Amino acid sequence: MSGLVETGRSVVRRALERLGRGWSKMQERRPLSYDLLESDDAYLVVFDAPGVRGEDLNVTFLDHTVEVELDRFRDFYDGYEMLFPGRGVSLSGSAELPPDANVTPQGANATLARNGTLRVEIPKKDDGRDVAVVEEGDEDDSGRDAKSEPADDA
């Protein structure tokens, strides 16, 4: 009778493991959740990124889209055995900024908070008002090109 019980437990454990791995893969295919916020100076995208470390995270900005890829790892606990591996480990997501957003990736920053959120701040441009004009062949005493003041709007 004990052989039958062990066989039953083994079958249940394999079923839980398969179910967990399937759930994990479904989670990996679903994009990360996020909020998109706007202030006068910047856009802020807040992604859910639980259980990830900064070195396992990649944030890129391309064509008004913030893209995030992360790899997280499962901790091992002494004396415990994994029955249901249900959390995805390779997650990704993207957030598209409004089409009329006038932004620049220079000065953007990403902050990974202890509560499992990733905040990506993208500064807005100043509507093109501060355009520096550089004249060729005009050098100051240090040998660097001299820059004129930003052009004023008429």
The residues spanned by each domain of the chain are 31-77+86-123
Say which residues have a Cβ less than 8 Å from residue 66's Cβ, sequence separation at least 6: 45, 59, 60, 94, 95, 97, 120, 122
Reading the block at residue 95, the tokens are 């957030």
Element (H, E) at 8: helix 2-29
Element (H, E) at 74: none
pLDDT (tens, 9 = 90+) of the chain, 154 residues, equals 677 777 777 766 777 677 666 666 676 678 889 999 999 999 999 998 888 888 889 999 988 899 999 998 877 789 998 777 777 788 899 999 998 888 878 888 999 988 889 999 999 886 544 344 454 654 555 554 444 444 444 4
How far apart are alpha carbons 146 and 139 in whole angstroms? 5
Nearest in space to 121 (alpha carbons), one of 56, 40, 19, 52: 40
Residue 78 gets which letter from DSSP? T
Per CATH, which fold does 31-77+86-123 belong to? Immunoglobulin-like (2.60.40)
Give pTM, 2 decimals: 0.65
CA 144 to each of CA 43, 72, 140, 149, 150: distance values in angstroms, whole numbers, following the listed order: 35, 47, 6, 16, 18
**Residue pair 27/56 in contact by the 8 Å Cβ criterion:** no
